[in-house]
Amino acid sequence: MGMRDAIPVIFAATLLDELNDKLVFGKVATKKYSGEIKEKGDRVKLKGYGDVTINDYNPGDATWDAANPNGLTYQDTHAAAIFLDVDHAKDYAIKLHDITELQSDPAARQHYAKKAAFGLDEQVDTFLAGLYTQAAAGTYALKSTAITTALITSYIGELWTKLQHENIDKKALFVPPWVVEKMRLAGIVHGEDLMGDHMVNGFIKSTLQFDIYMSNNCPALAPVTAGYRRNIITACSYEAMAFVDQMTEAETLRSQGYFADLVRGLHVWGGRLIKPKELVYLDLEEAPETTI
């Protein structure tokens, strides 16, 4: 393999690593179903299993004997399956006037990978954030147009209660920056949690039995009161969302019009909510503080 052929493979691998590091909602979405993805249009089969019915056992009782003339009633089991469609594709394409420099300079590869990964990250995370519309509840757990520091803890507690009813132990919470500020004023998070290396890829801390993530991609809604921010705040299990992705193409072409090489690649991905009961959300709009 020549130098020119080797570069896009290295660049694509670096870019995918950068992308996976930068995802916020994608950190929680399970990727265990990835399998072999080759192109947009592929479909991943997610196999599932149904519940087991529990019955009363009371032979000798007239009612039970009448309902079970042949003894125990056996339920049929069928492996359920849903499909995860790889239905999104995004590309990157850059012109490099000195291909040897990119090959020999890891910092240059890292720079372009970070820039490309940031753009791809926004696309993927925005999509995953929008999966709240598939939640089983079909609507918000609570809605408020006047969220202050005094209210934020009780509203987050409502999300905890709803997930706890589904026996969810490991929970994630996604909040926009203005909610993080309310949480800071309420003493849920602290200033040091938001500084330097303490906050990595959106993760702030684990508290209130949630892993708390901050994201600018929490879906924004039209505010009821002009000038205020309104967002969807999502809480879910680590099994609620599924996500698969792959860099399926990576190649270098010699420019016909310039002394340069063209490096391009294709990122394909898909995601869906696979456990709708394990995701709940709030529709919250900020309000000014009167007392803290």
How many whole angstroms separate alpha carbon 183 and alpha carbon 156? 10
Question: Taking the model in full, what pTM does it have?
Answer: 0.74
Residues 163 and 33 in one domain: no
Domain-located, residue 174: yes
How many whole angstroms separate alpha carbon 110 and alpha carbon 121? 15
Q: Would the pLDDT of 132 be above 80?
A: yes
Residues 41 and 101 in one domain: yes
Q: 291: exposed, middle or buried (C-beta count within 10 Å: 0-12, 13-18, 19+)? A: exposed
Q: Are 274 and 29 in contact (CB under 8 A)?
A: no
pLDDT of residue 1: 44
Residues 110 and 210 in one domain: no
Domain count, the chain: 2
One-letter-per-residue 3-state SS of the chain: CCHHHHHHHHHHHHHHHHHHHHCCHHHHCECCCCCCCCCCCCEEEEEECCCCCCCCCCCCCHHHHHHCCCCCCCCCCCCEEEEEECCEEEEEEEEECCHHHHHHCHHHHHHHHHHHHHHHHHHHHHHHHHHHHHCCCCCCCEEEEEECHHHHHHHHHHHHHHHHCCCCCCEEEEECHHHHHHHHHCCCCCHHHHCHHHCECCEEEEECCEEEEECCCCCECCCCCCCCCEEEEEEEECCCEEEEEEEEEEEEEECCCCCCEEEEEEEEEEEEECCHHHEEEEEEEECCCCCC
Please give the residue that has the higher pLDDT: either 237 or 106: 237
- pLDDT-derived band at 3 (thresholds 50, 70, 90) equals very low
Residues 122 and 188 in one domain: no
Residues 169 and 252 in one domain: no
Residues 121 and 28 in one domain: yes
Residues 122 and 8 in one domain: yes
pLDDT of residue 208: 85
Domain-located, residue 155: yes
Q: Which domain holds residue 86?
A: 3-47+81-129+245-271
pLDDT of residue 142: 81
Residues 151 and 282 in one domain: yes
Residues 179 and 217 in one domain: yes
The pLDDT tens digits of the residues spanning 106-120 come to 666 667 666 776 777
Mean pLDDT of 1-29: 62
Domain-located, residue 218: yes
Mean pLDDT of 249-256: 76
Give the Cβ contact number of residue 137 at 10 Å. Answer: 13
Domain-located, residue 291: no
Mean pLDDT of 271-282: 90
Domain-located, residue 148: yes
Residue 235: closest CA among 164, 181, 177: 164
How many whole angstroms separate alpha carbon 18 and alpha carbon 121? 9
In the beta sheet, which residues pair with residue 241?
273
Residues 106 and 143 in one domain: no
Residues 93 and 143 in one domain: no
Domain-located, residue 191: yes
Q: Measuring CA to CA, how many Å separate 197 from each of 203, 205, 206, 228, 292?
A: 11, 12, 15, 30, 28
Domain-located, residue 198: yes
Domain-located, residue 116: yes
CATH number at residue 207: 3.30.2320
Residues 24 and 121 in one domain: yes
